[in-house]
Structure formats: structure tokens, C-alpha cells
Amino acid sequence: MRIGIITDPRQLLRNARAEIGTAAMAVAVGLVAGFGAVAFRKLIALFHNLFFFGQLSLEYDTLVHTAASPWGAAIIAVPVAGALLVVFLVNTFAPEAKGHGVPEVIDAVNFKRGLIRAPVALIKALASSISIGSGGAVGREGPIIQIGATFGSILAQWMKIPEWQRLTLIACGGGAGIAATFNTPLGGVLFAAEILLVEISARTLIPVMIATGTASLVGRMFFGDHPSFVVPKLTLDHHALGPGLALVAYVVLGLLTGLAAMLYTRSIYWFEDLFKKVPGNDYVRHMIGMALVGVIMYVLLQREGHYYVEGVGYAAIQDVLNGGLKAGGVLLLLALLKLLATSLTLGSGASGGIFSPALFIGATLGAAFAAGVQVLFPGVNISPVDAAVIGMACMVGASTGAAVTAVVMTFEMTRDYHVIIPLIIAVSVAYSMRRLLLADTIYTLKLSRRGQHVPVAIQSQLYLARCAMEFVGAPFMCLDANANLGTVLAQRRRQHRTPRVVLLDQDTLIGVVSARAVRAARPGMAVDTPLRDLADTHVVEVEASIQVFDLIALMRSERCRNAVMTRDGKLDGVDSVLGVVTWEDLVESANLSDYLDRGDPPPTA
């Protein structure tokens, strides 16, 4: 037995330099993401104070409601003014900065080899800070992710490192942005793993951990060692009134938020399609959308005393967590209006994230649900604060697809272990509900609409190393090359399944008639139709021990869709045929669709 130990000092030195270099670049990305989060918040504060009060100030506490603007009803025009600037910046300098950012990062990772243009970071920061500062109902997390990812890509291009390292640095930037914004380093690592990384291994995860840790330290220097929200101690450990009923209630909440996540995801793109039909150019469309947002803001100020839906909406979330917002009807109304305002903002062409609106909708829906349960079922122990926290996690996990991230981030923000069990259950239910109704997440739907289908899983190469013979499940039969359709139909009646047919002329393979071809021919063709007329004659013969990886390569190189399995790869009579494997078997039964989508197109018949 030989043990692979590197003894060459020069090789050891090269490996050490590579690891130190990767770690150093991860630190650099974390620093940029951390300081970028600080600078981005200051930009939002600058534009917010300028638009709402006509003041030059960098002080803005998002956990406190914005005071009534001296502009009065003219506040409706403030988002419109912001819209003009945003469209100019995006259309002139970086179209990639439009929207909520993360889909463009995923696009770069999966379809552009991790190449992101340098202007994107600057334009994204300016456009998003203007959108948020002028009242747009979007979040700051998406822009921070895109800014960090852009720097990671630029640094990698400058250093001329391999593609896998470039993709890793992009994930470092995205995860670090989340970590710095929410003070959730674990959540940042998991977000990168669930959404951005295309490889899960020590060589990719360790740089991400370094970057998120660095960004978190920078964030704590400026924002303090506390989460984005002040969450009171939860009451999820109280068992006097029956935890069983409470868990049932959280399952129902998960179902409802899963439905809401589907609506949230669909709504943004519904409005995007709607605004494309509005006559005029991008300026006109975005101005109309933001004027409607301005109307919602002003009406809420007059009726409820605060703008509520403007900007990131953290003040409203904090109200729910503090118990200041309790009325179920008002909470439900705010959830619906935030959904509408966010859809108008992004659908008409703004730049900003979807994370904060998801938190807002989840918190208000959760608290409204708890209020309703308390009225209908007084014996169920579920408080509005508990339900709001779980609703936030459910909404984020279901809409973004980052379910594990949502659970861990919520735990990091609450720092209460009693939240874990109901949180895991509710988020899992919400994610499953959204997945049942809509396969795409709020990130991937944008790409799917372009025809770019992102793999839904990172799969082990274990599938590729398995024996292809394992995927022979459909029945088959060997017939003489002169057989007709009637023979197959008779066999089908006996077995109640349509077999695949291997046509042989003594020891020569003529072709394969697929089950699909038999089913398609049966209604209209005569039973004496020669099977030769239905056969795929471009077939490969392979030995039964061939691995999936090798079979895929062979079928691609030969441009064929059917492989006949024999004992040793040679046809020696009927008894030597062990089965038929098709391209569809490999894609579906082996669950390799994501892997195959990354390579060449499937072979043609």
C-alpha cells in the first residue's frame, strides 16, 4: 500500500503559499464587505435625510420610524425624484445593478465563470441607496451581497487565480455581506453555501468562514455586538397550556407563510411584466411605480401615524417585536401593503434587495396569525412576538430557498435556544409549501424566465461512479429484426407494461425501439408494421460494469440516446443482452439533471 505524502519541500512551500494567499484574499473580501456595509448604510442615511428633510446628515436609525416630512403631501414626489436618478444610473452605467442583485450574482457564478464588471459595485451602491433613501420598499442586504461578490470577482480577476477560487471569492463576498449586515457570521457562511457556492469542501468553506468572520468583526466595530433587531426573550419554553397545540399552530403558520412566499415571489415578476406593457420608457415606468409607492406612504402616515412601508421597514418590524403593533387587522393590512409596495418598487425598475421586505411580511403575518389564534383558540400558547420571529424565518427561508440559513440566522438574532424546534418545523413546512406551489425561488425565477436553469443541488460524484447497470429498471425484450408491432403489443398486454425492444439479426444489433415509440405508434399503425421502421439504429453496446460517468461520456461522443448492456460489451446472442439504458434513465433515475445541465446538450437521436 502506498500512502500519498508530499515530501518535496518545494511542493510543500507552493501549497502553503497558495493556502496563505487564498486566506489573505478572503480577509480582503471580508474587509471590503464589512466596510462596504458601513459605507452603504451611511449612503442610505445621506439620501434619506436629503430626500425626506432636505438635510445633509449621516445619522439614521432604521429601528426608529421616520418623522413626518416637512414636505407634507409633496412626499409623494420624493420616490419619483429618486426613480429618475436610479434609472439614469442603471441605464447609463450598469444594467446589472437593476433589481435585487442576488440573481445577477448567481448568474455570474453559474453562467459567466464568475466574471463581474467593476462598475457594478459602485452603481449598485448608489442606485440602491437612492431607492431605499427616497422611500422605495426594498432592502439593503441584496446590494451588500452584490457589492461584496463584485469585489471578490474583481480581486480574483486581478490576481489571475483559477476559476474555482474566483467563484469561492464571490461566495465569500456574498456571505460576508450578510454577516456584516445582520451580525450573523454563521448565517453568512450558510447563505454562501446554500445560494452561491458550487462546490462544498474545505477549500471553499474555509475562505468563506474567514471572510464572514472578518466582515462580522468590522460590523461589530461600527454597529455593536448586537443583531439588527432587539428581540425580547421569547416564551417558547412555556408548557403550561400545551406545547402540542402550539406546534400545530406553528405548522399552520408555516403553511400560510409558504403560500405567502409563493405570492411574494410571483408578485414581483407579475408587476415587472405589467410595467413592461406600460407605454413610455424606463423613466416613465419607474416614476409611475414610485408615485404609487409615495401614495401608499402618505396614506399610511395620515391613517396610522407612520410611513411604515418605506425603506427597509425595520422600524415596523421592531414595533411588532416590542408588542407595539398587536391589532390583527392592521398587521395583515401592513403585510399586504408592503407586498404591494415592494412589487411596485422592484417591478417598475428599482435597485434594492428582497430580504428586508421578506422579514417585514413574515413578522406582520406571523403576529397577525397569532392574534387570530388567540381569539379563536384561547387555550393555544402562541404569542405575537414568537409568531413574528418564526414568521420572519419562514418567509425568508421559503422565498429565498435558504431554509437552513433562515433557521440559523434567526437563532443568532434571538440567541434563545427554545426557538429551535418550532423554528425548524415551521421553516421546513413553509419551504415545502412554496416548493410544492413554485419550484423556483425568488432568486432563481428571474433566471428561469431568461431560460437559465440553475442547478437546485450540489451533488456528490458518487452518482457518477455508480454502475450504469443499476439504472436498468424498465422491461425489455429481444426480437428478430423482422418482427412487427403486433408482437410487442401482445407482450404488453401480458405484462401490462410497454417493453423496450432490442432488434437482433442473429448476433448483430440492428437497433432499439423505445417504449415511447411503441406507445406513440399503437393508436394509428397496423400491427404488421415492421419494428425496423420505429427503431433507433444508432445505439452503443457497452459492458454491464461500465460506470455512469463513462457511459455519459460515450453517449455524448457517439451522439446516441440508447445503450444496450451486455456482459462484456460484445453481443453474443440473445442471452448476452442484460438490459437497455437510455439517456432519460441517466437524467431521471440517477437524478443527474443538474450535473448534465452544466455540460453539453443531450445527444440527439
Give the CATH number of the domain where residue 164 resides: 1.10.3080.10
Q: What is the rounded CA–CA span in Å between residue 243 and residue 113?
A: 49
**pLDDT tens-digit readout, 84-132:** 999 999 999 988 888 878 889 998 888 888 888 888 888 989 999 999 9
469 and 330 in one domain? no
Across residues 15-26, what is the average pLDDT?
81
H or E stretch at 476: strand 476-480
262 and 212 in one domain? no
Does a structural domain hold residue 7?
A: no
Across residues 393-402, what is the average pLDDT?
94
Rounded to two decimals, the pTM is: 0.79
Does a structural domain hold residue 236?
A: no
Residues 6+ apart with CB under 8 A from 439: 456
Of 312, 300, 297, 416, nearest in space to 63 by CA: 312
Residue 565, classed as helix, strand or coil, is: strand
**pLDDT tens-digit readout, 444-455:** 999 888 888 777
pLDDT at 368: 95
Across residues 567-572, what is the average pLDDT?
80
pLDDT over 70, % of the chain = 90
Does a structural domain hold residue 382?
A: yes
Tell me the C-alpha to C-alpha distance, in Å, between residue 317 and each of 230, 273, 367, 404: 10, 30, 10, 22
Q: What is the rounded CA–CA span in Å between residue 199 and residue 214?
A: 22
Decide which of 190, 223, 256 is a domain's last residue: 223
| pLDDT tops 90 at residue 198 | no
Q: What is the rounded CA–CA span in Å between residue 341 and residue 145?
A: 22
480 and 382 in one domain? no
255 and 185 in one domain? no
Decide which of 392, 417, 448 is a domain's last residue: 448
| pLDDT tops 80 at residue 174 | yes
* Confidence category of residue 571, pLDDT binned at 50, 70, 90: confident
Across residues 503-524, what is the average pLDDT?
79
**pLDDT tens-digit readout, 239-258:** 433 457 788 899 999 999 99
325 and 188 in one domain? no
Does a structural domain hold residue 198?
A: yes
pLDDT at 425: 93
271 and 208 in one domain? no
Across residues 317-340, what is the average pLDDT?
91
Domain tally, the chain: 3
423 and 491 in one domain? no
Exposed e or buried b per residue across 112-125, where buried means at least 16 C-beta atoms within 10 angstroms of its C-beta: eebebbeebbebbb
* Confidence category of residue 47, pLDDT binned at 50, 70, 90: very high
Of 112, 217, 100, nearest in space to 167 by CA: 112
Tell me the C-alpha to C-alpha distance, in Å, between residue 223 and each of 180, 182, 220: 9, 10, 5
* Confidence category of residue 1, pLDDT binned at 50, 70, 90: very low
Residues written for the chain:
605
* Confidence category of residue 287, pLDDT binned at 50, 70, 90: very high
Tell me the C-alpha to C-alpha distance, in Å, between residue 84 and each of 78, 87, 220, 344, 380: 10, 5, 35, 15, 50
| pLDDT tops 50 at residue 597 | no
Domain of residue 52: give its range.
Answer: 18-223
* Confidence category of residue 347, pLDDT binned at 50, 70, 90: very high
pLDDT at 380: 77
Please give the distance of CA 91 from its chain centroid, rounded to a whole number: 26
346 and 411 in one domain? yes
Across residues 399-411, what is the average pLDDT?
91
Distance separating the N- and C-terminal Cα atoms of the chain:
46
Q: Are 243 and 418 in contact (CB under 8 A)?
A: no
pLDDT at 235: 57
Of 264, 293, 318, 283, nearest in space to 137 by CA: 293
pLDDT at 266: 95
Q: What is the rounded CA–CA span in Å between residue 300 and residue 494?
A: 70
Across residues 147-166, what is the average pLDDT?
90
Does a structural domain hold residue 237?
A: no
Q: What is the rounded CA–CA span in Å between residue 124 and residue 133?
A: 14
DSSP string, 500-552: EEEEEETTEEEEEE-HHHHHHHTTTS-TT-BGGGG-B---EEEETT-BHHHHH
394 and 422 in one domain? yes
| pLDDT tops 80 at residue 458 | no
Does a structural domain hold residue 602?
A: no
Does a structural domain hold residue 54?
A: yes
Decide which of 421, 448, 475 is a domain's last residue: 448
Residue type, 233: K
156 and 179 in one domain? yes
Across residues 205-232, what is the average pLDDT?
87
Angle, vertex CA 490, rays to CA 486 and CA 492, nearest 5: 115
Mean pLDDT, the chain, whole residue set: 85
Residue 509 is given by DSSP the state E
| pLDDT tops 90 at residue 464 | no
Task: Report the CATH number at residue 563.
Answer: 3.10.580.10
pLDDT at 238: 46
* Confidence category of residue 393, pLDDT binned at 50, 70, 90: very high
Q: C-alpha grid cell for residue 54?
A: 432636505
pLDDT at 589: 54
pLDDT at 11: 63
Across residues 439-448, what is the average pLDDT?
90
Q: Find the DSSP H helices in 94-118.
A: 102-111
Q: Find the DSSP H helices in 232-277.
A: 243-276
pLDDT at 486: 83
404 and 476 in one domain? no
Across the beta sheet with 508-513, what order do the strands follow? Answer: 476-480, 500-505, 508-513
| pLDDT tops 60 at residue 219 | yes
Does a structural domain hold residue 400?
A: yes
108 and 24 in one domain? yes
